[in-house]
Structure 1
């Protein structure tokens, strides 16, 4: 319940406001790149996340760090949203806002997000084959692949698109064989 309340009252309005600005100015791709950059920056730096969410750190210090880290790369509209989030003490929700913005952008572009877990790095041909398979399943015009490597799979892949899961891994096949043997 609490997570959905934060989402409905904080994440969605800010992400939707940023999307509204992006669409009205024909900047959806540009601001989408900014959001991806910020999201990657937050995921790669625990220190930055802790710094931004620390209530003791003054707003001006947070704005200065954001300006120094991303100011030159970000569109002024994106930078203004960041400053607004700092002023309203909502900057600690930046990661969630970025995630919700990415979801909105995928909806607008009719893009499906496919999480692909494989035992080894996928080749370009394998990624293309998965992309085509996901397009067929989802009816999306484009597919965004998010790949992850899990050596425990032994071989094959697991593809997650929304609530659908396609388990074509060796581990999954062995588990299904084991279930059949124990049932019979």
Structure 2
């Protein structure tokens, strides 16, 4: 069993449990925002991820660091959930659990995630146009954008929604022209 499968098997039930607790407190969307903030903190610190995943670090140390990061920034029951993950030895799976929670929330709210890779920074109008296009394409109520900048695209952008890919990049167009030329030669 590979790490991804193991991670999803562990993350799924914990994410569902967090969703259940959030529902009991009528705060599923609020927790979604708090989870997004925690994921940003984790994404910006490889040292934090390594610290939490290190089995040699004392659970009390991990709890103290999590309290410093989360206290005042998350609801009490989410903080308790983080402490539970430490107690159960599952804090190394924090990122997958939080990502799975976001996926559950998106599914519930009929929101799709569109991964956008652009050659340049996108304006608000451009982002809204992408959201409208993806809504039309998928029939979703709303669209959440995850935007990365990749100058290697030369120009344009690539949009991924689930298994669908729209490659409107200059690099992609050049590659397609090259393949057509090679096929005719």
User: Take 1:75 and 1:164, find their aligned partners in 2: how far apart are those partners?
Assistant: 36
Deviations 1:107-126 (A, max 9, x none): 01111100111110011111
Query: 3-state SS of the aligned residue for 1:19?
Result: helix
- Which residue of the partner structure matches residue 65 of structure 1? 65
Deviation at 1:48, TM superposition (A): 0.9
- Per-residue CA shift, 1:39-63, capped at 9, x if unaligned? 1111111111111111111111111
Displaced runs of 4+ in structure 1, greater than 4 A? none
In structure 2, the gaps of 5 or more residues are none
Match of 1:88 in 2: 88
What count of residue pairs does the alignment treat as equivalent?
Answer: 183
Q: What is aligned with 1:151?
A: 151
Match of 1:5 in 2: 6
Distance of 1:58 and 1:5 partners within structure 2: 23
Q: Distance in 1 between matches of 2:20 and 2:94?
A: 17
Counterpart residue number, 1:117: 117
The TM-score with structure 2 as length reference comes to 0.96
Superposed, 1:25-174 pairs within 5 Å as 25-174=25-174
Q: Distance in 1 between matches of 2:59 and 2:175?
A: 53
Structure 2 residue matching 1:82: 3-state secondary structure: helix
Deviation at 1:71, TM superposition (A): 1.0
Q: Structure 1: any 5+ residue segments left out of the alignment?
A: none
In the alignment, the residues of structure 2 paired with residue 170 and residue 65 of structure 1 have an alpha-carbon distance, to the nearest angstrom, of: 45
Once the two structures are TM-superposed, the CA of residue 4 in structure 1 deviates from its matched residue by 1.8
Deviation at 1:181, TM superposition (A): 1.0
Deviation at 1:105, TM superposition (A): 0.6
Output the CA distance in 2 between the equivalents of 1:83 and 1:145. 30
Hey, what's the Cα distance between the residues in 1 that align with 2:115 and 2:6?
Answer: 26
1:21 Cα deviation after fit? 1.1
Distance 2:108 2:149 in 1: 29
Show the counterpart of 1:181: 181
Superposed CA deviations along residues 58-89 of structure 1, whole A, max 9, x for unmatched, are: 11111111111111111011001100000011
